[in-house]
Amino acid sequence: MLEIGSFPVKEMVLGTRTRWQDGVLEIDQEEILALIHTDPHIREAAVDIVRPGEPVRVINYTDVVEPRVKVEGPGVVYPGVCGRPTTRVGTGRTHRLAGCAVVECIDKRLLSEEERYYPKRRQTGSPDPFFDMSGPNAVTPYASLLNLCLTMVAPPELTAEDRHHILHAATLRVADRLAQTVAHLTPPDREVFDLRPLPDRPGAVFIPHLSSTEWVTGARSCIGIAVYGQTRLSAPWLLDGTEMLDGAVSQGHTWM
């Protein structure tokens, strides 16, 4: 059985401490920057808040992460990603900050021309992903969220894979810190997902199609859809529905 407790975020502001109170998520910018720079490979970083309806376009984003924290039961949120434990999730209680996200953005100024437009050569879609917060193009789910955007620069001399790993790990550290603000609070809203068999209900099986980018990125990759952090080609996985709800399957670091 899995319980997910939601804490609505109605406003996000920069302040002198990091806390959630009455729907307001206050964020200490200096603390967040210090978390990012825990890894000395990250040369530069900037923190910005963007809100629904603002005349803002978020560009060069590579992931959008909802802050979550496991407060009861085994495992951690987004298991296996960036070296996190791969303990099975899907039971216990998880708290989430609803209505907000941490957006990972890459400053491409130091990258070579080949790497700047790598996605265009390897997959369909825009080489410079973006989403708008207002106007006719504000059609993505992210446009309705309060977004903490992290724009980061990693050394160009590192491989693209290493840069992705470094920046994604920093994004997860920030999301973890925000989620910790509600780890010991009582959620105002909660959902309980119980998968015990019910005699009067039919059984159901959900068969999703999960793609791997191993043919492009190689076996060692944090890019693409991850199952317990594993993005490479593999045999089919058999998961409980609560595992998927609890982060066992994640998009991972990717060009969207």
- DSSP 8-state code for residue 230: B
The pTM assigned to this predicted structure is: 0.89
Whether the predicted pLDDT of 255 surpasses 70: no
Asked whether 180 and 94 are in contact (CB, 8 A), the reply is: no
SS3 content of the chain, % helix, strand, coil (to 5): 20, 30, 50
Q: Predicted confidence band at 220 (pLDDT cuts at 50, 70, 90)?
A: low
pLDDT of residue 222: 67
Q: What is the pLDDT of residue 21?
A: 97
Query: Which band of pLDDT confidence, cut at 50, 70 and 90, is reported for residue 128?
Result: low
The answer to whether the CB of 82 falls within 8 A of the CB of 165 is: yes
* 41-45, 52-56, 128-132, 213-217, range with the lowest pLDDT: 213-217
Q: Which residue has the higher pLDDT, 229 or 74?
A: 74
